[in-house]
A and B are shown apart, each in its own frame.
Chain A
Amino acid sequence: MDGAAARQSNPRTQPRGGTIPLEDKALAAAPDELTDNELLRLLQEGEDSVFRVLVKRYWGKAYTIAHGMVGNKEDAWDIAQDSFLRVYKASASFDLSRAFHTWLYRIVTNLCIDQLRRKSLARTVALDDIEPSLADRRPSLDALERRELRGRIDEAFEVIPPKYRAVLILRDVHGLACKEIGKIMRCTHSTVRWRLHRARKIFREHWERAASPARGGGA
């Protein structure tokens, strides 16, 4: 009897397809411990409070992808918010057998590509990105180096076509597998590999070109 009661109260032991009362879930596990798709299911059942957990889990990654793609803080912020807004609006129709992060990253990259198209593929670097914000103003060489590195990478990203850039960011910044990127970008594995190859080549060329004057000046 005790075992049955414990099994009832623990959502992880329940069959995945079954309907578990929300009260039991809330009692048995904190939302932070639930998987993305479990959170999505709760959201579909009307538990809006779990949306915060999902956002907290992915807002940084969504922002990083958007920043790499569009190249400035304001647009990256807006795109990250738009992406979560779309997730919230379409959560009821999300297929729980698929991975949430794939869906989210696709929304982010599509929004970024749309944004770049609107701006005629021109990445803009805002003044705020050049001047460090008050929160970032730490007298640390590490922070300065990081900011300089970020600026150089942003500059190199500017010359990479958006679709290649998205693949490069997803693979080399976020470490996603090529198959996953194929699902996100809705293209084949070979296409992903080709775009990755091209993007890495372009990036390396510009990285070295940007690094060589500094080296020359330092010598």
Chain B
Amino acid sequence: MSVPCREIRELLPLYVGRDLSGPSRETVSTHLGACTPCRDEAEKTARALRSLRQYDPALPESEFGRFFLELRGRCRGLVPHRQDRTARTASVGRRALSMVRANRGLAAAVCLAFTLGLLASGDLLVGSNKASGPAVSSPWAGGVNERPVVRSVPSRLFSPVGLGPPPAYRVGQPPSSSLPENVNPHDGPAVKPRYELIESQKAIAIPARLRGEPY
């Protein structure tokens, strides 16, 4: 019926600190009411714990100034928000890099598409591909009623001689009229490609019956 003193004394540290609850607490209380040795033990434990509550090694308030000054000195140069933001940006960059590494094929395809788009939109192909492309619709192809295509000459054909912006010319027409007077088309390397362009157009687009006709 009654609980042995040994078991009760095991519970005393928690009982005295009010960390025992429910039936255990009731049991200890009942036992202590009837057992003097256990009550003495409980009193000793309580005395030891009371001394703990007086443990106060805290520094005087006057020390706070020095404490905070030192702390501020150590915090100086640390801007947590900015630092974290930088770290976050770096982590986003790292994440993007790892994603690219994981999908190398896709990244290569995107790069290729981008490069091709750049080439197609720039004037890199104007001198070669575009010149031969629309030759079907040129008057040399036999379409009498078709309007001649007006197109600008690539700037790099003229830029070496420093003559300003390229003039417009009609496909299939001799460009001599559009050339400045002081430039001999047979002399400079800058003008030569222009004639080559025209010649190549003729080679592709001029019908056989008109081929060899001087202009």
Contacts and interface: CB of A to CB of B under 8 A. Distances in A.
A84 B49 CA distance: 30
A106 to B, nearest CB: 19
Interface stretch (A6-14, A19-27, A59-67): A59-67
Given A59-B67, A178-B19, A208-B48, A46 B74 contact: no
A100 interface: no
Contacts of A84: 71
A175 B13 CA distance: 15
Interface stretch (B50-58, B138-146, B179-187): B50-58
B130 interface: no
Given A52-B68, A77-B67, A173 B52 contact: yes
Contacts of B64: 56, 59
A152 B60 CA distance: 21
Contacts, number: 105
Given A80-B67, A89-B78, A208-B44, A135 B55 contact: no
A21 B195 CA distance: 72
A122 interface: no
Contacts of A173: 52-53, 55
A103 interface: no
A203 B47 CA distance: 11
Given A56-B68, A171-B17, A196-B14, A46 B57 contact: no
28 contacts: A55-B67, A59-B67, A60-B59, A63-B57, A64-B55, A64-B57, A80-B67, A85-B75, A92-B80, A93-B84, A135-B60, A135-B62, A146-B54, A150-B57, A153-B51, A153-B52, A171-B19, A172-B17, A172-B49, A172-B53, A173-B53, A178-B19, A196-B19, A197-B13, A200-B45, A200-B49, A204-B44, A208-B48
